[in-house]
Amino acid sequence: MRSAMMFAVPLFVSGCVGYACTDLMVYSVSVSVVDATGAPYVPEDVTYSVDGGPETSCEPGFGVEYAHHFACGFDEPGDFVIRVYDAGAVVAEEAVEVRQTFDRCHVEPVELEIEV
């Protein structure tokens, strides 16, 4: 009995052994672009940068009904700057922080609506 107790105590003291992360990728920021009336607006491009790094184009939604939706970054944490371009110029810009989940496997996705 005593040897069983000695074995059990280290299990409780050691805490979590670890987490098993999945291979699924989680978007960092989901952007929906709308006009002043709240109607869907399809811009020329939507880009993002993380922690002051280079700008990268966001992935556009599929089909006409989702053309105003964009996925920016996958499982990337950090300080994001999202820019909406039309006619070669920035027409809107938003900043948002994306954090990792407690298990550090993925990020907590942020949903953002940007009005142009």
pLDDT tens across 4-46, in order? Answer: 433 333 333 333 346 678 888 889 999 999 999 999 999 999 9
| Alpha-carbon gap, residue 98 to 95, rounded angstroms | 10
* Whole-structure pTM value: 0.79
CATH number of 21-115: 2.60.40.1120
Contacts 24+ apart (CB under 8 A), 89-93: 91/43, 91/116, 92/33, 92/116
pLDDT at 84 exceeding the cut of 90: yes
